[in-house]
Chains A and B, each alone.
Chain A
Amino acid sequence: MAWMSWTLPTALFFIGIGVILVGMTTWQIISPTIERRGFLPLATTRGDRLFIGLLSSAFIHLAFVALTDVNIAVATVMCAFWMVILMRWG
């Protein structure tokens, strides 16, 4: 695995993604999702909202890196809140 040049932050990132995917799959098996319409302009399932949340979080991080000198952890905390809002009311 050394050739993959792992670092602690990237390992934690992928563990986080893996945990989210396993968690969402388990949730889906226990209680299957129903498509619904929230504040987003389209009807979404739980998986759709997760995808939208992860993709938008990636762009929020990129915008933070490109446009500000603020610590990236601030963007991560903001994205965590955004994910919760999106999953609950999106």
Chain B
Amino acid sequence: MQTKVENNKAWFLVMPVFLIVAFSAIIPLMTVVNYSVQDIFDPYTRYFVGTEWFKQVMLDSRLHEALLRQFLYSFTILAIEVPLGICVALMMPTKGRGASLALILVAIPLLIPWNVVGTIWQIFGRADIGLFGAFMSGIGVDYNYASDPTDAWLTVVLMDVWHWTPLVALLCYSGLRAIPEVYYQAARIDQASRWAVFRYIQLPKLTNVLIIGVLLRFMDSFMIYTEPFVLTGGGPGSSTTFLSQSLVQQAIGQFDLGPAAAFSLVYFLIILLVCWVFYTTIMNMQKDK
């Protein structure tokens, strides 16, 4: 008879992670909660204000507009990056040197630091010295991301698609490589069409990696700061000012730590809610199957 072996030493191996998370996330979050109920001038000069900052933040029209822009942005890039990432993964070679080369080429945008991505697109989009800007001018489109809100949006979205579609593509590529050959053999015996193979074999097998991809991209895009800050500075006007940029303006620009802390907590709760809804919906869809 086999007895269950219990080894609690594993907990000690996990301890460093607990400590890192405590110092990098839990303690700062506790401090933010403390700040959100006080008017802070410095750590020793502070006044308890209760829920005043929360009321101010919840009724702030700038927050509502930034939140709307943020959702629009996140859903736009998800709607583009997920199908595009799947298409790229399906078209990538599976064997030989071509596969290695394709993997390296696809991964290159992921290796570039965020502020550099912003700078690249800042130059790329300029009509006088940038390839994209010059191309748009060349085909007769009056394109200027610095003065036109639509152009600014288009550039910010294109930049994100260029930067992060490779992540979705690589995740899908790994998911596709993990599908056993027997599935394809069965499909060939049944004379299944290319679409049927995708719909009934590849897509269901990609569900898990797509969950990770969608969650990662949603959370990351919902917290986006550096690239739009470098590219458009939130402008023209406030057309590309997303939540994190509004938050930074409030916390660091105006040094309103109390309202900024309340803003951060509302922001955190929204991310938590949306991620939970995504995760639960997708996991339940899998269970129902």
Please list the residues of chain A having a beta carbon within 8 angstroms of any beta carbon in chain B: 2-7, 9-10, 13-14, 42-43, 51, 55, 58-59, 62, 65-66, 72
Return the CB mask of B252-289 against A: 1 if under 8 Å, else 0.
00000000000000100100110010001000100100
Decide if B33 touches A13 in the complex (CB within 8 Å): yes
A42 in contact with B44 given A51-B276, A65-B54 (CB within 8 Å): no
| Chain A residue nearest to B257 in the complex (CB) | A5
Looking at the complex, which one of A3, A4, A5, A42 makes contact with B284 (CB distance below 8 Å)? Answer: A42
Decide if B51 touches A42 in the complex (CB within 8 Å): no
Bound: A87/B54 CA distance, A: 28
Q: Which residues of B contact A10 (CB under 8 A)?
A: 30, 33-34, 37
Residue B27 at the A interface, CB < 8 A?
Answer: yes
Bound: A63/B44 CA distance, A: 31
Please list the residues of chain B having a beta carbon within 8 angstroms of any beta carbon in chain A: 27, 30-31, 33-35, 37-38, 40, 43-44, 46, 48, 50-51, 54-55, 58-59, 266, 269, 272-273, 276, 280, 284, 287
Decide if A65 touches B55 in the complex (CB within 8 Å): yes
Query: Distance (Å) between the CB of B41 and the closest chain A CB?
Result: 11
Decide if B40 touches A5 in the complex (CB within 8 Å): yes
14 intermolecular pairs with C-beta atoms under 8 Å apart: A2-B43, A6-B34, A7-B34, A7-B37, A7-B38, A7-B48, A43-B287, A55-B272, A58-B269, A59-B273, A62-B54, A65-B55, A66-B55, A72-B51
Further 10 A-B residue pairs, CB within 8 A, beyond A5-B43, A6-B34, A62-B58 = A4-B27, A5-B34, A5-B46, A10-B30, A13-B33, A14-B30, A55-B272, A55-B276, A58-B269, A66-B55
Bound: A3/B31 CA distance, A: 8
Looking at the complex, which one of B27, B38, B54, B59 makes contact with A5 (CB distance below 8 Å)? Answer: B38
Looking at the complex, which one of A4, A65, A66, A72 makes contact with B34 (CB distance below 8 Å)? Answer: A4
Looking at the complex, which one of B50, B58, B280 makes contact with A72 (CB distance below 8 Å)? Answer: B50
Query: Distance (Å) between the CB of B231 and the closest chain A CB?
Result: 32
Q: Which residues of A contact B31 (CB under 8 A)?
A: 3-5
Query: Distance (Å) between the CB of A87 and the closest chain B CB?
Result: 17
Which of A9, A51, A66, A72 is packed against the most chain B CB atoms within 10 Å? Answer: A66
Give the top 4 A-B pairs by smallest Cβ distance, nearest first.
A66-B58, A5-B34, A65-B54, A4-B31
Bound: A6/B27 CA distance, A: 12
Bound: A43/B280 CA distance, A: 10
Decide if B37 touches A55 in the complex (CB within 8 Å): no
Bound: A55/B31 CA distance, A: 19
Q: Which residues of B contact A13 (CB under 8 A)?
A: 33
Q: Which residues of B contact A55 (CB under 8 A)?
A: 269, 272-273, 276
Query: Distance (Å) between the CB of B50 and the closest chain A CB?
Result: 7
Query: Distance (Å) between the CB of B128 and the closest chain A CB?
Result: 47
Q: Which residues of B contact A66 (CB under 8 A)?
A: 54-55, 58-59
Q: Which residues of A contact B37 (CB under 8 A)?
A: 7, 9-10
Q: Which residues of B contact A4 (CB under 8 A)?
A: 27, 30-31, 34
Query: Distance (Å) between the CB of B47 and the closest chain A CB?
Result: 10
Query: Distance (Å) between the CB of A1 and the closest chain B CB?
Result: 10
